[in-house]
Structure 1
């Protein structure tokens, strides 16, 4: 996490003293215990961040600067961002999106199957029209017959692809069902929300009605569930 924060922080490292001041220690007993500390006080504030505050300098001149023809004094500090915590939140947000993508795999495979099925229906309509034209027209129908043969081959290939996608849909649905059921750290309501959303493909409004909960509370429970999952990845 420290490496992640170092790569993504927005402040400019001038001397590197704050990073070099970090020390670690570990001890082994019944439990493994690790300690992270620093030899420089300012490093603590860089780690935890600070609120806006008034600066009380030892020497007033130390904060003096010239603006126009007057001296100005920097008295109010805007505060520091909690870089480590920000990196953690960004990492957790990324993980939550990855989790949602994973939970959405049954829905994605379902959409793929629906798309293929629609394509097959359209090709069957085209094949029927060509077949009727062949029966009506007399004479040389070689071109239409070849076109019909090509379409029928495409229908056969797409049907095989549809069967594969349907099997994948079933496989992913069972996989996500197992994942949700085995997540013992989630509450029953959180599991139900995940199941309704990612396996039954219900809208948030439908889930709220089914569970007799407010729309906002459903979203909150869903977010908490994703956070719990992210914390265990």
Structure 2
């Protein structure tokens, strides 16, 4: 796997978790509405109760899915961080801001910096950050990935 693909997976996993959290919020809102529909002079209410039960099951399943995704995300990110340690300081800073993201307290979420923002933060030009330094960082990360794979294969043979 190429370094850039591996690193982009972190952002993709984060986006999927956020999308599932939003879907969970919608399901929870729907469950509240489903429970509030009871009223009037209906005699048969099992349909409403069944909808509520179905909604609760979907909520539990979605929570389980999110927890599994979070575990996978944490493991993938931790592995990437171990490989990141093999890179130079400037490369670590660039990859951290671009692919790992930075938590923004005001927005209450992880934000990923643009090339312009990274260049300004690092006092480098946009061209250097988005071109030369990025390529150097990817190359160093790829080397660390290749070493990790080689180490894993060696361990499997023993």
User: Normalising by the residue count of structure 1, what TM-score does the alignment of the two structures yield?
Assistant: 0.53
What is the aligned partner in structure 1 of residue 82 from structure 2? 178
Q: How much has 1:228 moved relative to structure 2?
A: 4.3
Paired residues for 1:108-119 under 5 Å: 108-119=12-23
Of the structure 1 ranges 218-227 and 111-120, higher mean CA displacement relative to structure 2 is found in 218-227
Q: How much has 1:225 moved relative to structure 2?
A: 2.3
Moved over 3 A (4+): 227-233
Matched, 1:165 2:69: yes
Cα distance between partner residues in 2 of 1:152 and 1:138:
25
Cα distance between partner residues in 1 of 2:78 and 2:140:
21
Local SS of the residue matching 1:182: coil
Cα distance between partner residues in 2 of 1:153 and 1:170:
26
Q: Unaligned stretches of 5+ in structure 2? A: 102-111, 147-158
Matched, 1:100 2:100: no
- RMSD value, Cα: 1.9
**Counterpart pick for 1:191 among 79, 87, 92:** 92
What is the aligned partner in structure 1 of residue 106 from structure 2? none
Q: How much has 1:227 moved relative to structure 2?
A: 3.4
What is the aligned partner in structure 2 of residue 215 from structure 1? 126
Structure with greater helix percent: 2
What is the aligned partner in structure 2 of residue 204 from structure 1? 115
Structure with greater strand percent: 1
Distance change in 2, residues 1:131/1:226 (3 Å): same
> How many residues are treated as equivalent by the alignment?
133
Cα distance between partner residues in 1 of 2:18 and 2:33:
23
Distance change in 2, residues 1:128/1:229 (3 Å): closer
Which structure carries more relative contact order (alpha carbon 8 Å, separation 6+)? Answer: 2
Local SS of the residue matching 2:70: helix
User: Normalising by the residue count of structure 2, what TM-score does the alignment of the two structures yield?
Assistant: 0.75
What is the aligned partner in structure 1 of residue 41 from structure 2? 138
- CA deviations over 1:33-53 (Å, ceiling 9, x no partner): xxxxxxxxxxxxxxxxxxxxx
Cα distance between partner residues in 2 of 1:147 and 1:103:
41
Distance change in 2, residues 1:205/1:137 (3 Å): farther
Cα distance between partner residues in 2 of 1:230 and 1:173:
15
Name the larger-Rg structure: 1
Cα distance between partner residues in 2 of 1:223 and 1:145:
58
Cα distance between partner residues in 2 of 1:131 and 1:138:
16
